[in-house]
């Protein structure tokens, strides 16, 4: 049995990126950021790899926001790079094909704390110190 061919990777063309960013600005306003400094921050790693910034950084505040971002990315074949605290010791926040960095730092809700089970449910922007 032969393995399936890998999906080709590509950088979206400038017109696709411009339309995509315009849609994100319409949906998220100033939470869709294209400034060079913010994009560079979201493409910086602690590895030997060079900085590879995304085309846009979006700051969702809810699961519904994330769903809207993912749907738009799927419709435009736009790469998605999740961004937590940005430590990136392995280069996983680089965006070699452009796309969108989804920065979850505004998703800070503690959904549930289960004393009996010794577990909890939190949104991805909650840090360890905040949870403690």
pLDDT at 128 over 90: no
Q: What is the pLDDT of residues 29-66, one digit of tens each?
A: 999 999 999 999 888 777 777 888 999 999 999 999 99
Q: What is the pTM of this model?
A: 0.85
**What pairs with residue 115 in β-bridges?**
none
Q: Top-level CATH class of 14-87+97-106? A: alpha beta
Instruction: Name the residue ranges covered by the structural domains of the chain.
Output: 14-87+97-106
- Average pLDDT over every residue of 3-25: 82
pLDDT at 7 over 70: no
Q: What is the pLDDT of residues 76-121, one digit of tens each?
A: 999 999 998 766 666 678 888 889 999 999 999 999 999 999 999 9
Instruction: Count helices and strands (H / E) in the chain.
Output: 4, 6
Range list of H helices, 2-103:
14-28, 36-41, 63-76
The closest of 92, 71, 91 to 81, measured between CA atoms, is 92
pLDDT at 20 over 90: yes
Q: What is the pLDDT of residues 111-127, one digit of tens each?
A: 999 999 999 999 988 88
């Amino acid at each position: 049995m032969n393995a399936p061919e890998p999906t080709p990777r590509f950088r979206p063309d400038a017109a696709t990126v411009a339309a995509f960013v315009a849609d994100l600005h319409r949906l998220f306003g100033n939470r869709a950021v294209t400034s060079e400094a913010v994009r560079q921050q979201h493409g910086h790693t602690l590895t030997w790899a060079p900085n590879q910034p995304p085309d846009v950084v979006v700051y969702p505040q809810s699961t519904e926001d994330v769903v809207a971002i993912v749907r738009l990315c799927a419709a435009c074949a736009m790469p998605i790079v999740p961004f937590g605290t940005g430590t990136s010791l392995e280069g996983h926040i680089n965006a070699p094909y452009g796309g969108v960095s989804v920065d979850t730092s505004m998703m800070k809700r503690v959904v549930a704390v289960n004393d009996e089970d010794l577990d909890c449910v939190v949104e991805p922007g909650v840090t360890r110190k905040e949870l403690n």
